[in-house]
Amino acid sequence: MTREFLDRIDERNPKLGAYTFVAREQALVAAHAIDALLRGGTDLGPLMGVPVAVKDLFYVDSMPTTAGSKADVADVVRAEGTFVRALKRSGAIILGKTWTSEFALGGINFVQRVPWNPCDETVHRTPGGSSGGSAVAMAAGLCAFAIGSDTGGSVRMPAALCGVFGHKFSSGAFPLDGIFPLSPTLDSIGTFTTSAEDAELVWDTLSGTTRVHDRSLRGLRLARPTQLFYDELDTEVSERVERALKNLAQAGAEIINVDIPEIDEFEHVFGRIVPIELIAILGRERVEQNLDRFDPVVRSRLGPGLDQKATEYIGARYRLAELRKTVAEQMEACDAWITPTTPLLPGPLEDYASLDAALAWNRRALRNTRPGNVFDQCGVSVPLRSNGAHLPVGLQISCAPSQDGRLLAIARAIEHALRAGH
């Protein structure tokens, strides 16, 4: 199985650019070892021998870790962390490293090649980011599941644009050691799979939790925020999300409108925290020395952070804690929030050829996902599959922190209802 995936990578990756490093020999050695364990009667569990793609923020022995940058950042992360060790203990076989935008800051880069979204074989459409390589690898069948990270939507948004299932873990689900950090305050791990059921299998195996009992949609309270999330959607996104909500209501779910005033503050808080934390991680001297080498998108977002006052950062952290507490209390009145994952369809990359266009796209593409990181929610993007639709659309489900099992059970029920509704 590993050899078949590697051959498929050899065939398709030159066009798609999902992988930046393929560990052919290392993966085959691991696969032979797994076969030997199985012959000897050792069963490591359901992920044993399953090939996985890992985003190039995660340190893996004998593989490069570049964080998508031309600058030397090898000193930032120097050893495998808790999550990669959990992958290896489960028997999963790491095929290689996947593309990330530089430092995972945004979804479009100019210095390095952006992967080709496999939803369209003729037009180079954006796959989203920053975990775009993992999303493309999953969508193109270049792995059995893929690993990414999510600081403002970097798993959920590319999952929606590439038409796969994306799960953003609760931020405290695993220690973040061994992973190049963008913002330790907002970072989380995530996975790409074909379905909620697969995501649940990966989650239960790696976290050591037990599957939550099946959830019925009847009586499930799904909150539809009245602010922001449903504003200025691409027409096809709006139509397919509304159709999905109608199907879920017919299946017994209760869709309730909720007012969330705290939504108005998420962008300010996010913008005060992320740049300054990345500067602290890289070190001011390295940032200043390499600013001209950084991607224009990264340069435009890091530059102002060099002049940011400590009081602004501390104030943002203080307000973040207040927002998280308030929103967590509000979520007790419902089972989950339900929104479009991103307001837009995957557009042609050539439409974002200027820096201003790329920055505007980044703000809009991540508008619906960033609140989940600010409010410390766990979340998924469920692909809205439609026989007549050409481009992917995602439906975002968000739950309170540390409710990943409950979230995935809800997502399973929603996927089942939506399939029955087509």
Known catalytic membership, residue 154: yes
Contacts of 133 (CB under 8 A, 6+ apart): 17, 18, 19, 20, 53, 55, 56, 98, 99, 100, 115, 127
The rounded distance, in Å, linking the Cα atoms of 11 and 5 is 10
CA 292 distance to own-chain centroid: 28
The rounded distance, in Å, linking the Cα atoms of 380 and 374 is 15
β-strand pairing of 165-168 with 189-193 = antiparallel
The rounded distance, in Å, linking the Cα atoms of 313 and 320 is 10
Among the listed residues 55, 101, 134, 171, the single catalytic one is 55
Among the listed residues 69, 101, 130, 381, the single catalytic one is 130
The single-letter code of the amino acid at 60 is V
Q: What crossing angle do the helices spanning 310-330 and 266-282 adopt, rounded to 10°?
A: 130
Q: Nearest-CA neighbor of 134 among 171, 174, 107, 111?
A: 107
Among the listed residues 90, 154, 188, 398, the single catalytic one is 154
Question: Which of helix, strand or coil describes residue 314?
Answer: helix
What DSSP element (H or E) covers 193?
A: strand 189-193
Give bridge partners of residue 190 from the DSSP assignment: 148, 168
Known catalytic membership, residue 55: yes
Are 199 and 191 contacting, i.e. CB atoms less than 8 angstroms apart?
yes
CA 297 distance to own-chain centroid: 19
Please give the structure tokens belonging to residue 58.
């995660």
Q: Output DSSP code: residue 300.
A: H
The rounded distance, in Å, linking the Cα atoms of 348 and 139 is 17
Q: What crossing angle do the helices spanning 2-16 and 24-39 adopt, rounded to 10°?
A: 160
Q: Nearest-CA neighbor of 196 among 420, 403, 392, 383?
A: 383
Contacts of 354 (CB under 8 A, 6+ apart): none
Known catalytic membership, residue 188: no
Q: How far is CA 112 from CA 74, 102, 164, 348, in A?
A: 18, 9, 24, 17
Helices (H), ranges, 208-250: 235-250
Q: Which residues are catalytic?
A: 55, 130, 154
